[in-house]
Amino acid sequence: MKKYVCSVCGYVYDPEIGDPDSGVAPGTAFENIPDDWACPECGVGKDSFEVSEE
């Protein structure tokens, strides 16, 4: 699964880790995160994330 990076603050969403503090279980693909999820670092929406090239 691809990692996604926040274009505002640089936070990297890693699907292997998920975002348990926001209710996103490990193994959750970025596409399957609820649309109202926000970056845990800066609070922007999913539309501010881009596929990580790493």
Q: Write the CATH number for 16.
A: 2.20.28.10
Give me the residues of the chain with pLDDT under 70, please.
none
Query: What is the number of structural domains in the chain?
Result: 1
Q: How many CB atoms lie within 10 A of CB 49?
A: 21
Annotated binding site: 6, 9, 39, 42
Q: Which domain holds residue 33?
A: 4-51
Give the pLDDT score at 16: 98
Contact status, residue 8 vs residue 49, Cβ threshold 8 Å: no
Annotated binding site for Fe cation: 6, 9, 39, 42
- Burial-class residue 39 by CB neighbours within 10 Å (0-12, 13-18, 19+): buried
Give the pLDDT score at 51: 97
Give the pLDDT score at 54: 72
pLDDT tens digits, one per residue of 14-23:
999 999 999 9
